[in-house]
Structure 1
Amino acid sequence: MRFLVISHAPHFIKEGKIYAYGPLVKEMILWEKRVGQLVVFAPEMEATADPINIPYHHIQTRLSSSPSLNFTSPGNSLRSFFKLPWIVLKMWIVMLKADHVHLRCPGNLALIGCFLQILFPFKKKTAKYAGNWDQDSPQPFSYKLQRWILSNTWLSHNISVMVYGEWPNSSKNIKPFFTASYYENDFISFQKPAIQKGISLIYVGGLFAAKNPMTALKVLELLIHKGEDAQLVYCGDGSERSQIEQYAKTNNLGNQVRLLGNVSAERVKEEFIQAHFLIFLSDSEGWPKVVAESMSWSCIPITSPVSCVPQMVGFGERGKLVTNDAEKIVHEILELKNNPVELELMQLKARNWARQFTLEKFGEELGKLL
């Protein structure tokens, strides 16, 4: 079987191997094991040593490079407009040759794929909508358009659409799904540091304004002002890093903050084991893997109630749902610190729930869609 993946995630080739963003590749490896050949239609970028990128496994996997699309400025929009005919033609050709088409939505290339898949009503197709499927949430028009096409069974035939969470009034081709980060044997025994000896906070993800990484730093500052011994580690990089570094320096927080940049999944796991609370306040998400990952290591997520996140944390049983308010977040943290029985129970519930979703189980469910 020739399995085609259409993705906006940049890929690169290094020493004969195809590399891309680690969490995406981990999932694609599960498809690789179940198909004859995997073809990835995606933008190609220059090789990098960033540890967040990992290689595909199968020697039969191929990269069909596409020009990237960018509509963030008039100049980029004009250039992208002239690229469109070539992209549409090339995508149509690779779709024609494929036995199964898999769309990674939402994204610019996936939007084109959503239109082109209409021309292949008898071809087996799947789509992974990694964004927020909540129809009442504010989203870009292109995201709403992709969601509408995929859920319209008159336009989209023979396609299963994986979405995060369970949503009422969904069409019959919509499949509530999950994602995973760990294999069963990744769940090693561990000892969580005693919170009474110091509160450990962690932020994992891109350091971008839409994810509100500065709030984690302000939570740390308030905890210290209240006399708490607290530490914060950032795993991730982005445009907000310099602002975070400057704020930490100006407010004498440098000794309590570590910015690790992009690090391997193994290093993130080590940091989760040491941390008591994940501060994750993204404005928009699908199924944030870092929330489930933190729960796997008894690190309680303090998170915004977007998309299916309330379902993930059991509407407050396995984590705390908060607004982007540092004072209220500090209150929630201190409430749990001062109630060790409640904290331990929440850690247990979080760990037991998150560890259901292994890569083995994920692979089994993906296999049913072929």
Structure 2
Amino acid sequence: MKFLVVTNAPTLKEDHSYQAYTPYVREMDIWSANVSEFRIISPTQYNQKLLKSSFKKQPTVTSIPSLNFSNVLSALLSVFYLPIIVFRLFKAMLWADHIHLRCPGNIGLIGCFVQLFFPKKLKTAKYAGNWAPNAKQPLSYRLQKTILSSTKWTKKMTVLVYGDWPNQTKNIKSFFTATYNDQDRLVPVIRDYTKALEFVFVGSLVTGKRPLLAIQIVAQLLSLGFKCNLQVFGDGVLKPKLQHYIDDKQLRKHIVLHGNKTSETVKTALQSAHFIILASKSEGWPKALAEAMFFGVIPIATSISCVPNMLDYGNRGMLIAPNVEDAVSKIVLALGANQALVTMSKLASGWSQRYTLNVFESEIKKLLKV
């Protein structure tokens, strides 16, 4: 099978091999293991720091320019590049037996239009953003959702989305992302929530993830007399600001910014943590929550995208408003019932352990018809 991936994610050549963002590479390794020929059409330049890995099965890569409409010059260049991108997409889709779109994104949007000319080809689209029908999103995102969900215009397409949503067309399939294998399933350690509490934050240190809020929540709990610590795993532009805040509030003893660490290091931390805080502004499928829940860590998260569904509307974790007062009041209230938290932890792990890489690979094979 000739398998084509259309994506905004840059594919970078380094040390004689193609590399890309690590979580994306891990997923594509599963897709590509089940096909004979693997091609990616994407930008091939990126001028920012990126956590990357090499593809196990090296793809053939067709390079296209990035699109950027943030200023007048970039917009003019993007308009100039548009015919080149459309031509290369059309040529690549003509080659493919299976077309796989990665959305949302500018390249994904163009791919949505070009795939309309190939109604007889098998297609999948991974919509990694918020699929909630009432979500406030840019016009380009809404347009991609409209095209992908239209069974009148988009043929032989399965659209993989996060969460269960009402009134969807028949080509929309609720899906998931996995990190751990069946053999990683363990009976989670029963935590004691009456003693010192271990909190974790896993994610990029950027405004959208609200890492400062996680720090402020733990700082407030400390000020109320609770014994607790916070380990922050991840890197980003906010790191200097966060470190300054920690130093200014004299929190170094309790809050540590570890930066990017290996998956094994994070896994070890999750196996003993009590809570994970992720008060994001927007999410698709927050892998950090699913990974933590796998080991019985109770999530504390904002009610966005499919998160309420993941947390069973409060039975498998705590849904908070994005402010310190609401979060702390809910945490303090929950800490008054140790056994209820033990039950919540068990429910969280029981749900997350249903979604392993083994199950993920089985579902991918069904989508590829292999």
TM category (shorter chain) comes to: over 0.9
Task: Rate the CA distance shift 1:361–1:240 in 2: closer, same or farther, 3 A.
Answer: same
Identify the range of structure 1 (227-236 vs 313-322) with the bigger mean alpha-carbon deviation. Answer: 227-236
Identity, % of aligned positions: 40
Q: Map 1:270-289 onto structure 2 (within 5 A).
A: 270-289=268-287
Secondary structure of the residue aligned to 1:307 is: coil
| Structure 1 partner of 2:30 | 30
Contact 2:186 2:295 in 1 (8 A): no
Other structure's SS at 1:267 match: helix
Supply the AA of the counterpart residue of 2:330.
E
Match of 1:57 in 2: 56
Report how far residue 207 of structure 1 moved.
1.4
SS of aligned partner of 1:200: strand
Match of residue 40 from structure 1: 40
**What's 2:302 paired with?**
304
266-275 vs 307-316, which moves further: 266-275
Query: What's the secondary structure of 2:131's corresponding residue?
Result: coil
Matches within 5 A, 1:324-343: 324-343=322-341
Q: With structure 2 as the length reference, what TM-score do the two structures score?
A: 0.94
CA contact (8 A) 2:188 2:346 kept: no
Query: TM-score with structure 1 length normalisation?
Result: 0.94
**Letter in structure 2 aligned against 1:53:** K
Equivalent-residue separation in structure 2 for 1:17 and 1:189 (angstroms): 39
Q: Show the 5 A alignment for 1:198-213.
A: 198-213=196-211
Which residue in the other structure is 2:254 paired with? Answer: 256
CA distance in 2, matches of 1:246, 1:312: 34
- Output the amino acid matched with 1:19: Q
Contact 1:12 1:47 in 2 (8 A): no
1:133 Cα deviation from its structure 2 partner: 0.9
| Maintained 8 Å contact 1:192/1:274 | no
Residue range with higher mean Cα deviation, 248-257 or 350-359: 248-257
Contact 1:14 1:47 (C-alpha < 8 Å) held by counterparts: no
After TM superposition, give the deviation of residue 171 of structure 1 in Å: 1.0
**Aligned residue for 1:157?**
155
Check conservation: 1:200, 1:230, Cα contact below 8 A: yes
- Decide whether aligned partners of structure 1 residues 135 and 267 sit closer, same or farther in structure 2, where only a CA change above 3 A counts: same
Question: Runs of 5+ in structure 2 lacking a partner?
Answer: none
Q: Distance in 2 between matches of 1:72 and 1:86?
A: 20
The one-letter code of the counterpart of 2:216 is K
Is residue 150–residue 156 contact of structure 1 (8 Å, CA) maintained in 2? yes
Task: Give, in whole Å, the separation in 2 of the partners of 1:343 and 1:85.
Answer: 56
1:1-370 equivalence runs, <5 A: 1-45=1-45, 52-59=51-58, 61-187=59-185, 191=189, 194-370=192-368
CA separation of 1:44/1:120 partners in 2, compared to 1, >3 Å: closer, same or farther? same
Give the Cα–Cα distance (whole angstroms) in 2 for the partners of residues 21 and 271 of structure 1: 23
Alpha carbons 2:189, 2:296 under 8 Å: kept:
no
Q: How many Å apart are 1:306 and its aligned residue?
A: 0.9
Partners of 2:191 and 2:342 within 8 A in 1: no
> Superposition RMSD on alpha carbons, in Å?
1.9
Q: CA deviation at 1:156?
A: 0.5
Give 5+ residue unaligned stretches, structure 1: none
Q: Point out the more displaced range, 290-299 or 333-342.
A: 333-342
Q: For each residue in 1:151-179, what CA deviation from the matched residue of structure 2 results, as whole angstroms up to 9, or x when unmatched? A: 11121111111111111111111111122
Once residues 21 and 332 of structure 1 are traced to their aligned partners in structure 2, the CA distance between those partners, rounded to angstroms, is 35
228-237 or 314-323: which moved more? 228-237
Letter aligned with residue 40 of structure 1: I
* Cα shift readout 1:99-121 (whole Å, capped 9, x = no counterpart): 11000110111001000000111
Displacement of 1:237 in angstroms is 1.6
SS at match of 2:333: helix
- Are the counterparts in 2 of residues 210 and 283 from structure 1 also a CA contact under 8 Å? yes
CA distance in 2, matches of 1:84, 1:186: 45
Distance 2:36 2:203 in 1: 33
C-alpha distance in 2 between matches for 1:242 and 1:360: 39
81 and 49 in structure 1: CA distance in 2 versus 1, 3 angstrom threshold: closer
> How far is the alpha carbon of 1:195 from its aligned partner?
3.9
- Whole-angstrom distance in 2 between the partners of 1:306 and 1:58: 35
Q: Distance in 2 between matches of 1:192 and 1:212?
A: 29
The range that moved more, 192-201 or 358-367, is 192-201
Deviations 1:249-279 (A, max 9, x none): 1111122221122222222212212321111
* C-alpha distance in structure 1 between counterparts of 2:185 and 2:286, whole Å: 19
Give, in whole Å, the separation in 2 of the partners of 1:291 and 1:120. Answer: 37
